Amino acid sequence: MDKDSAVLQGAFLLADKLCLPSSLSSLQKAGWSRVGHPVLAAVREICGQEELSGPPNSRAAFWKKKLVCVVWLKLLCRETGEDVETAWRENPFFPLQSALPEVNHVVLLELVKSMSASKIFAHLLLCLPQSQICSELERLTQHMKSSPMSEDDVRLFLELCWELWKSRDERTAGGEESIEMMFTNQFARLTNKPASMSPQAAKRFKLDTSTSSPNTDVLYILFHALKDMRDHISTTDLCLQALAISLDVLYTSFLIERAVELPTEEKMHILSKAVGIREKNNEKLSPELIQEAQRDLSTSHTPSRFQPSQMKLTEALNIVTELAQFWQNSGFLKVSDSSNPSYSAFKLQQSVQRVLTALEKAGEPEAMTEMVVQEAEKNILRGLLESLSFPAIESNPEVNVRVTTTIITHRLEDYHNFAVLFACERSWAECDELWMDCLEKNQAAFQQHDTLIKLSSTLMSKLHSEGSNVSQCRKLMKVVADIFSALSLEDKNKALAAMLRMSNRGFFGCSVPSAVTDGFEQELNMAFNCIIQGGGGAQAAALQGNLSTAVSLVARVAYQNPEATLRSCCHSAIFNKGAFALMAKILQQLPGLRGQGERRETDENIDRRSGPASGSGLLCWCLQEVIRTRSLSGNEKEQFLKFLGLLMMPVMTVEGEEKRFLCPQEVVNTFVLPNLSSMAHSSVDTELSLQLLHTALCVDVHEAASSPHWVLDCSLFPLLYVLSQLHHQALRCWEQTPEGAVHHWSMDTKELLLSVLTSLGQVAGAVVAAAPSSWSRALFWLYNKMEELDWTVRFHLKPVWGEHFKNEVPSSLLTVCDLPEQEWSGLDLPQYSQGTGLLAWMECCSLSDSLRSTMLSRLSLDQRRPDHVGMFSKGLLVALTQALPCCSVSQWSRLLGALRELIASGRLHVPFSLEYVDFLPLLDLRRFSCELRLSVLLLRALQLLCGSSCSHWLLADGWAHVGRLYAHAVREVMNSLRAKLPLPSYGTSTVSPKGSASTPPKTPTSRDSSLSCTTVKTPKVSKDSLKDVKQVEEGSPLKSEESQMEEEGETFPSQEVLFVLSQLFCHVQHIQVMMPGGQCEPLFLCSLEILSHYEAIMAAFPDSSSPLESDNTRHFFSTITDNLESQEMKAVLHQKIAQLVSSAA
């Protein structure tokens, strides 16, 4: 036994002695005042309190609770006759309990009354089953009514009743080892009844209201006890308390079914009035005082756990009104000082108002008699309210602030809602020191996005008011930013979206003191400097951490000023090398900066002078402002394009949804449509606009099947017309205007334009096909607009026209093609006069693969007539000279395919002459006739183009483009050669032209001089397989002369390929010398590539060239190269030619 228990034991033994010749087990109520002082003195000593009724500390509360529990269990043990052997093992209170003398219920109840332990007694009482609660209440009422009855008895009863109502939501700390838990377990053990709480369950017993016996109805016991005690209540304060408690019990038990949620502001006013009244009665504002007022307020508006089983509303109301009438007639309900009412009077006034309001809203009683009775009782209550009438208590703003601050500081009930109220009450912000001190010390209480928005609104009003305190504003802004920084990313985004709804410029929407602005500018610059400097050399492991830090920094400054922050993001993304990816990742983490949802806004929503209206157009507006201030370099344009491309890409959110920071239609409407329609005054050039449109079209947008394509929000048909106009202008890209200005159209731009036009045409075609009648008007409008443009433009929009219109081509095309009249019609175009049919035919071949197939299959040419073939070949050469300069790379590739097909089918006659050799090579060149003829054809076309009659057609850019196209054709020829003679893979031995087991098989030779030029990869077969094939061929009557040549020696066509490469090199050098300028870099690179491949073949097939032949080749190539004008190019080529040394033994 510890010291404190020994003190209590001694006190109880002394009290027991003072009872002699009786004992504490038979003590009467009147005897407690004589024998109880040793016990109370011991309690005061243990608790460290001079007055047991004072505010308890944690030690006092523990010992008071333990003492009540021990005495109560002592009584239960005696009543149940518990065995000592069992008790010392299972009862944790046994040491102290067994040390006390026997007691009775008088000792227990008088001890509770003397220690002001009604709250403790109520907590323990609620641990019991319902029947035991009622039994204990009956015992308590009998004890109170016994003589002598004092006001302390009444006060104990009232406090206990109110605590029973207030304690329903209380939870005692300590878990399974708490005193309430141990008390409950011991009660269950002693009575062999289920306890009202278990170690895993809640600590409160849930009453069974099914019983109808009066002695199990808590309400019946309480109301009748009050009725019996009315003659013994003789003070105004007790009368007011009794009426207030009885009315609240009636209200919560009969008149409400669910808790009444009061607005936070109303709660604050009620609490402030209560605190103000108690302060006038010399009570000091404290957390405990407010907590008690909160519990009173909450209890008065929450349904009671004790539901009536026997008593009815009419009976309860009748008892309350009888009590009110009795005490009013006795003069106990008169308020002596109406200007300074007591707390009990204030509570009673609130209770009467609640009951009267609820009775007015309640339905009419079933019986007429009950209705008459209720009306009479309402009148009595109204009279009571009038008798209590005193001047309306106005809550003091200063008290409001102090009460709210206390609730927030000490995290009292509902402090989050009080924080919202505190944040939005702008009048409180005038109490500078107290208000600011609460904010600084309790930032965690304001860390909800809705609370933060209210606080931000208050800050904005302070910033924009005249005579604002700059120092305090800066301090408040820092506090707000700190609170924002502590939010989760999800709440940050909610707060950012809410801030954008208030102002695009955040706290700086109106004029702000310069000191505040300067401070923010410093923070903004520092944030982005840290991001740019820290994001460049980050290690892979730290990337995610760096990104999180960067997101937090940007979000912090963005909350203060979204527009300035987005402008800095855009500036960094465009002008800081490589920063676009990091900026895009940051913004993708901050979808709150998009504004309200993903609104589809066009450029009409943006006021260029004052900024965007609101929402996600802010980023696009900031980008426009940034690029308007300075012209962009090529690298900056690329970063701008990639930045927007990343922001249009969908990102998976935490909820598993795909969201994008920018919608494709928003980018198109902001940067593409205005710039394409007014290119002269555009901050974004045409090429960049097309790149943006192409990027937007390539974005994978997952939309519901029923929803329209996003491009329909971008004026689809007008956009198609504008792009068609641009394509029309690009067709004559090398022409010079009379004024001397040059169309700045690169072929890359033309290629991009064609890609965009084709993609949009496919989208529009799908739209029209889905609802032809809805789009017929727009379709005919667009088709009619095409009449003023080049005839080829319509073919790029073939998916749009579908089967609605014929294919319109120059009439001259119909003279060289057999095209069905049902699908084709001719146009009389002045630029396509007689003899231009092949030019139109070639232009059609370059437009699309399907159109090329049609042109090849419908070509009118009688191959049996040599004069027709000769005229066709000459005409095609002229047409090729005209068409070549205006082709894009993709168009040129299609045209090359058509030329190969014509050569392979024998329709195009290209005589091959040995211009660069002095003797006839003993080689079989039939397999390479297509490559040789194509190369000669291109040589003839370029000879014609570079001749005196045509050389003035093109400007320098045009000649450079022609050089690129010719280089592209040469590379295609080389690819074909590589396919016909693959080089050995890395690590294999060199190959001899003579077959051997260690060499790859020979590629079979073609039997037809008119061989197709398509690239075919030769399958690798074994030597035995080749022999089997030869044996079959030997017995065949169709065995050709070529087969006999193969029998003589299985040779690889390495010598033939070397010959073709030498001819190709000479053609390239010839053309490079002819072309104006003579320094075409693509042709120079082609020459190097040819020489490299030549060297590789010599190394892979050593016997393909003897030392003498290689020496002659080097000499010949050097002689050809000497004709170049560029000394640098000559030097490099000579160096490369010198490496062509045969490795043959």
Question: How high is the pLDDT of residue 360?
Answer: 84
Contact 218, 137 (CB under 8 A): yes
pLDDT value at residue 202:
34
More confident of the two residues 393 and 85: 85
Query: Residue type for 601, please?
Result: E
244-258, 531-545, 1107-1121 — which is least confidently predicted?
531-545
- Segment 1062-1081 mean pLDDT: 90
Kind and range of the H or E element at 673? helix 673-677
Distance CA 1077, CA 1062 (A): 24
SS3 content of the chain, % helix, strand, coil (to 5): 65, 0, 30
- Confirm if 1018 and 1003 have CB atoms less than 8 A apart: yes
Q: How far apart are the first and last CA of the chain?
A: 113
H runs (alpha helix) in 681-801: 686-698, 716-731, 747-770, 772-785, 793-796, 798-801
Among the residue ranges 52-56, 208-212, 440-444, 704-708, the one predicted with the least confidence is 208-212
Tell whether the model's pLDDT for residue 478 goes beyond 60.
Answer: yes
Question: How does residue 758 score in pLDDT terms, banded at 50, 70 and 90?
Answer: very high
Q: Strand 824-827 and strand 807-810: pairing?
A: parallel
pLDDT tens for 359-394 read: 888 765 554 445 555 777 878 888 777 776 666 677
Burial class (CB in 10 A: 0-12, 13-18, 19+), 62: middle
Cα(894)–Cα(903) distance, rounded to whole angstroms?
Answer: 14
**Cα of 828 vs its chain's centroid, Å:** 58
pLDDT at 112: 93
Rounded-to-10 torsion of CA 493, 497, 503, 508:
0
- Residue 242 banded pLDDT, cuts 50, 70, 90: very high
Which two tokens mark 431?
């109490």
Type of residue numbered 105: H
Q: Which strand (E) or helix (H) includes residue 964?
A: helix 956-980
pLDDT at residue 699 is higher than 70: yes
Q: How far is CA 36 from the centre of its chain?
A: 70
Going by their DSSP bridges, the two strands 658-659 and 651-652 should be labelled as: antiparallel
The percentage of residues in the chain with a pLDDT greater than 90, rounded to a whole number, is: 47
Token representation of residue 1131: 């030097």
The pLDDT of residue 921 is: 77
**Amino acid in position 549:** T
Contact 902, 849 (CB under 8 A): no
Peptide bond into 148 cis (omega under 30): yes
What pLDDT shows up at residue 1019? 34
Q: What are phi and psi of 364, to 5 degrees?
A: -70, 145
Give the closest residue to 939 by CA, choosing from 1075, 839, 837: 1075
Amino acid making up residue 1029: V
Mean of the pLDDT values across residues 816-830?
92
**H-state helical runs in 147-217:** 151-166, 179-191
* C-alpha 877 chain-centroid distance: 60
What is the dihedral sign for C-alpha 902, 903, 906, 911?
Answer: positive
DSSP state of 908: S
Q: Beta partners for 742? A: 736
- The confidence score (pLDDT) of residue 931 equals 94
Phi, psi dihedral angles at 983 (to 5 degrees):
-75, 150
Q: What is the spatial distance between Cα 861 and Cα 841, in angstroms, rounded to a whole number?
A: 13
Among the listed residues 333, 332, 350, the one whose alpha carbon sits nearest the alpha carbon of residue 274: 350
Give residue-wise pLDDT tens across range 777-813: 999 999 999 998 999 999 999 999 988 889 999 999 9
Residue partners of 610: CB distance under 8 A and separation at least 6:
none
Q: What dihedral angle (degrees, nearest 10) is formed by the CA atoms of 362, 366, 367, 369?
A: -10
Separation of CA 372 from chain center: 64
Q: What is the dihedral of CA 688, 692, 697, 702, to 10 degrees?
A: 170
Most confident residue range from 648-657, 878-887, 982-991: 878-887
User: Per-residue pLDDT tens for 274-287?
Assistant: 998 888 888 888 99
Give the closest residue to 1071 by CA, choosing from 1001, 970, 921. 970
Question: pLDDT digit string (tens) for 606-615?
Answer: 333 345 544 4
Could you tell me the CA-to-CA distances from 376 to 334, 349, 383 in Å, in that order? Answer: 21, 19, 11
Residue 210 pLDDT grade (very low, low, confident, very high; cuts 50, 70, 90): very low
More confident call, 82 vs 363: 82
Average pLDDT over residues 972-978: 95
C-beta of residue 354 within 8 angstroms of C-beta of residue 328: no
- CA-nearest of 1118, 1110, 1056, 1060 to 1090 is 1060
Spatial distance between the Cα atoms of 653 and 295, rounded to a whole number of angstroms: 42
Cβ atoms of 733 and 747 closer than 8 Å = yes
Decide: helix, strand or coil at residue 120.
helix
Distance set, CA 29 to CA 33, 145, 213, 718 (Å): 8, 10, 29, 101
pLDDT of residue 1010: 33
Residue 617 is predicted with a pLDDT of 82
d(CA 1137, CA 50): 114
> Could you give the CA distance from residue 731 to residue 745 in angstroms, rounded to a whole number?
9
CA 733 – CA 958 distance, rounded (Å):
8
DSSP H or E stretch at residue 671: none
Structure tokens at 610: 């004052």
Mean pLDDT of all residues belonging to the chain: 82
Q: Provide the pLDDT for residue 701.
A: 65
Closest CA to 721 of 783, 642, 767: 783
Q: Which two tokens stand for residue 197?
A: 């709480």
Residue 997 in this model has a pLDDT that exceeds 80: no
Distance CA 1035, CA 690 (A): 64
Write the CB contacts of 85 (distance below 8 Å, at least 6 apart in sequence): none
- 257 pLDDT above the threshold of 50: yes
Greatest alpha-carbon pair distance for the chain in Å reads: 154
Convert the pLDDT of each residue in 287-331 to its tens digit: 999 999 999 999 999 999 888 888 888 899 899 989 988 988 888
In which band, very low, low, confident or very high, does the pLDDT at 656 lie, cut at 50, 70 and 90? low
Residue 173 DSSP symbol:
T
pLDDT at 1105: 86
Rg (CA), the chain: 50
Q: Return left, alpha or beta for 175; rule: phi > 0 is left, psi -120 to 50 is alpha, else beta.
A: left
How far is CA 726 from its chain centroid? Answer: 38
Distance, C-alpha 710 to centroid of its chain: 20
The two structure tokens encoding residue 637: 């344009």
CA angle 630, 632, 633 (to 5 degrees): 135
Say if residue 816's pLDDT is above 90. yes
Mean pLDDT of 594-614: 43
Q: Examine the pLDDT at 858 and tell me if it is beyond 70.
A: yes
Classify the C-alpha dihedral 804-810-813-818 as positive or negative.
positive
Backbone phi and psi for residue 363, each to the nearest 5 degrees, phi listed first = -70, 165
